[in-house]
Amino acid sequence: MKRLGIVGGIGPESTVVYYRQIVAAGRERLGGASPPVLINSIDVQMVLRLAEDDPVPGLRDYLLSEIGVLARAGASLALIAANTPHIVFEEIRQRSPIELVSIVEATRDAARERGFDRLALFGTKFTMQGRFYPEVFSRSHIELVHPREDEQAYIHAIYVEELLRNVFRPETRERLLAIVELMKHRDQVQAVILAGTELPLLLTNESTSSLPLLDTTEIHVRAAINELFR
């Protein structure tokens, strides 16, 4: 069986969720045995600093180095347990010593399977303002709608200042759900992509959201498990 590597720590809380979900899904396939998993926990602040600059050379090289750690430890398949680093995913994929599973492509496939063609995108400012999500989704004729500038600023701020610090406030949940409701009526979106792996820790479809919420962590795990057992 392939050994799965996780570039995690970006952030730590969602990396724990990744591990738990991968082990649970793997045990279902293996009849109770656990799949082999390696975790390389890296510095989320370094990722955010590199993303603020011209992200391609610095962020690409940093992540390639950390993927190399997993490859040398025996991983033959890997994922980056976050959305923001996928800003340089194509550059990384071309140079990676092992196969990588894209969170963006997996989410696109999940949206297509559910028949969505117009979705809102929540995440860090790098994700909401980047081209990497729209470019992948446009190949399947799926339109992404971004929150307004003030909404983006709020979502990015609470992501960095609260969620990445393991702070989950009821009032933050209510404000995010209010933005969901606004975009439902204002922008006619059919669902919301939680394109930040800490967002599903605060928002779930049980959070009284009036729209479906696409949990990119869960989607990414499912895609990785499918590749692991291919």
- Residuewise pLDDT in 10s, the chain (230 residues): 789 999 999 999 999 999 999 999 999 999 999 999 999 999 999 999 999 987 789 999 999 999 999 999 999 999 999 999 999 999 999 999 999 999 999 999 999 999 999 999 999 999 999 999 999 999 999 999 999 999 999 999 999 999 999 999 999 999 999 999 999 999 999 999 999 999 999 998 777 788 999 999 999 999 999 999 98
Q: How far apart are CA 200 and CA 184, in angstroms?
A: 19
Contacts of 203 (CB under 8 A, 6+ apart): 173, 176, 177, 194, 209, 213
**Tokens 């500038």 belong to which residue?**
149
Q: How far apart are CA 69 and CA 40, in angstroms?
A: 8
Q: What is the pLDDT of residue 54?
A: 77
User: Which CATH architecture is the domain 105-215 placed in?
Assistant: 3-Layer(aba) Sandwich (3.40)
| Number of CB atoms found within 10 A of residue 170's CB | 8
For residues 29 and 229, the answer to whether their CB atoms sit within 8 Å is yes
SS3 (DSSP) at 211: coil
Q: What is the pLDDT of residue 230?
A: 86
For residues 201 and 15, the answer to whether their CB atoms sit within 8 Å is no
Helical (H) or strand (E) element with 121: strand 118-122
Largest Cα–Cα separation, the chain: 50
DSSP 131: S
Q: What is the pLDDT of residue 205?
A: 74
Q: What is the pLDDT of residue 208?
A: 78
- Altogether, the residues listed in the chain come to a count of 230
Question: Do the domains 4-104+218-228 and 105-215 sit in the same CATH topology, yes or no?
Answer: yes
pTM for this entry: 0.95
C-alpha angle 147-156-127 in degrees, rounded to nearest 5: 70
Kindly list the domain boundaries of the chain, sorted by start residue.
4-104+218-228, 105-215
Nearest Cα to Cα of residue 211 among 114, 131, 82: 114
From 3.30.70.20, 3.40.50.1860, 3.40.50.2000, 3.30.420.40, which CATH number describes the 4-104+218-228 domain? 3.40.50.1860
For residues 121 and 144, the answer to whether their CB atoms sit within 8 Å is yes
